[in-house]
Amino acid sequence: MLTISGKTRYCGVIGDPIEHTASPAMHNAVFKKLGLDYVYLPFRVKREELGKAIEGMRALNIRGLNVTIPHKVAVIPFLDELDGLARKIGAVNTIVNDDGVLTGYNTDATGFRQALLERGIEPMGKKVVILGAGGASRAISFILAEQGANLTILNRTPDKARQCASMFSQREVRALELNRENLVEVLEKADILINATSVGMTPNIDETPVPFNLLKPDLTVFDIVYNPIKTRLLREAEQAGAKTITGLDMLLWQGALAFEKWTGVKAPIEVMRAEVIKGLTRS
Ligand code: NAP
């Protein structure tokens, strides 16, 4: 049991829906293990209540919030400051409250970069295929382009892939419709495949965005879906002999980087990893 006192500091996550979140289990377990007087709560915030929720954060002196679907872009006008990366991406997933000054960050992007680094993967010059053009894809595309990867974005709605690609005025990013013909063409030469769509996520765990016969041993497959931890895409990529990275790694690192911003304490990565696995296998 957490002990709450008048000195306890509050963090949390806002989104709608919020029932599926793995973040409270991860953060609360780590606060407890490190003896930090913090607590982390999930808040279901409807679209039309977002402004009031952020004013509430200020009024109640909540130290930090994570922001998830559907608020990552809409929250920006309610903040006082934006970190440079969050500004360029146009989305925020972490807010820090310093005595009433609210600053927005994007630790989805930096967390994704850390997850690659941890596996010794260097994106510079690599041919990277990204499936999806939603909020997560924007953050990932941005960080990969910054690191010199050669990007192709495929999305079910091709206009959104083109919008995403248009963020990069200085470099050429291909934008295509997500269909079999285009997958065949781009995967033949790809080094890294990233699934940033929600295909394969619970409850649709039998779905995959890529047919098995297009997967190959010299590919690294990163599926950012984390529920289930091992998606059908990752299982089939393993069978094809490809290197795989789970969405849990990105979830872990985005959480660790937010934790460090709120507490000023270095995140205990292995403790967090064990807690997030425990939380996800329980759910
Ligand atoms: P989002 O903004 O709602 O974008 C969803 C994306 O999935 C869009 O590109 C959408 O295509 C595509 N999509 C949805 N259903 C599809 C289908 N049946 N066939 C093909 N494409 C489909 O969501 P998001 O925030 O980017 O999140 C995407 C996924 O990443 C979710 O599963 C989320 O849980 C996961 N995520 C993981 C982490 C992590 O830390 N591991 C962090 C953030 C997000 P259209 O544009 O055509 O609709």
Domains in the chain and their CATH numbers? Answer: 9-106+249-282 (3.40.50.10860), 109-246 (3.40.50.720)
**Of residues 147, 250, 117, 240, the one with CA closest to residue 194:** 250
Q: How far apart are CA 159 and CA 257, in angstroms?
A: 32
Instruction: Kindly indicate the confidence band of residue 283, based on its pLDDT and cuts at 50, 70 and 90.
Output: low
Active-site annotation holds for 33: no
Q: What mean pLDDT is reported for the chain?
A: 95
User: Does any ligand 1 atom lie closer than 6 A to the CB of residue 202?
Assistant: no
Active-site pick, 72, 88, 126, 266? 72
The more confident residue out of 139 and 282 is: 139
Q: What is the rounded CA–CA span in Å between residue 136 and residue 109?
A: 8
Query: Which atom number of ligand 1 is nearest to the Cα of residue 252?
Result: 40
* Sequence-distant (≥ 6) Cβ neighbours of residue 249 within 8 angstroms: 115, 118, 119
Distance 135 CA to ligand 1 centre (A): 7
Q: Reply yes or no on whether the pLDDT at 2 is more than 80.
A: no
Report which residue type is found at 163.
Q
Given ligand 1 and candidates 156, 210, 259, which is best to mutate, with the most ligand atoms within 8 Å of its CB?
Answer: 156
**Residue tagged 């997560």 (tokens):** 136
CA of 59 to the centre of ligand 1 (A): 33
Q: Would you call 177 helix, strand, or coil by DSSP?
A: strand
**How much distance in Å is there from the Cα of 136 to the middle of ligand 1?**
7
Residue with CA closest to ligand 1 atom 22: 197
Quick: pLDDT tens for 244-255: 999 999 999 999
The residue whose CA has the least distance to atom 46 of ligand 1 is 157
Position 259 scores a pLDDT of 98
> In 3-state terms, what secondary structure has residue 82?
strand
Do the bridges between strand 101-105 and strand 81-82 make them parallel or antiparallel, or are there none, so unpaired?
parallel
Cα distances (angstroms) measured from residue 225 to each of 121, 197, 265: 19, 8, 28
CB 113 within 8 A of CB 84: no
pLDDT (mean) for 4-27:
94
0.85 surpassed by pTM? yes
**HEC readout, 84-102:** HHHHHHCCCCEEEEECCEE
Q: Is the pLDDT of residue 281 over 90?
A: no
Is the CB–ligand 1 distance for residue 267 below 6 Å?
A: no
On the question of pLDDT at 265 being above 80, the answer is yes
- Residue with the smallest CA separation from ligand 1 atom 43 is 136
Q: Bigger pLDDT: 283 or 218?
A: 218
Q: Are residues 136 and 224 in contact, defined by beta-carbon separation less than 8 angstroms?
A: yes
Among 1-10, 28-37, 270-279, which range has the highest average pLDDT?
28-37
> What is 9-45 written as a DSSP string?
EEEEEEESS-TT--HHHHHHHHHHHHT--EEEEEEE-
Confidence at residue 15, expressed as pLDDT on a 0 to 100 scale: 97
Q: Which atom of ligand 1 is nearest to the CA of 226?
A: 41
Q: Are 22 and 280 in contact (CB under 8 A)?
A: yes
Query: Closest Cα to residue 233, out of 254, 204, 253?
Result: 204
Note the Cα 72 to chain centre separation in Å: 11
Question: Residue 135 has what pLDDT?
Answer: 87
Of residues 111, 99, 103, the one with CA closest to residue 9: 99
